[in-house]
Amino acid sequence: MLDAKFIRQNPGKVRIALKNRNYDEKILDDFLVLDEKWREKLLEYEKLKSFQN
């Protein structure tokens, strides 16, 4: 299993690996979109949590 940080930093390498294994590259695109949303929500949560304290 690949680390999310590695995928974010090396999407080209991951895309090539997916193609070589006959996987749909859309998986990578979906992951990158969801990961970005996750990171935005996490940042929002941390801001709200620090505001509460």
The pLDDT of residue 4 is: 96
Domain residue spans of the chain: 4-52
- Quote the pTM value: 0.82
| Mean pLDDT on 15-23 | 97
The pLDDT of residue 51 is: 86
Cβ partners under 8 Å of residue 53, min gap 6: none
Alpha-carbon 31 to chain mean position: 5
| Mean pLDDT on 36-45 | 98
| Mean pLDDT on 4-30 | 97
Whether 53 shows a pLDDT value over 80: the answer reads no
**What's the chain's average pLDDT?**
96
Joined tokens for residue 28: 């990578």
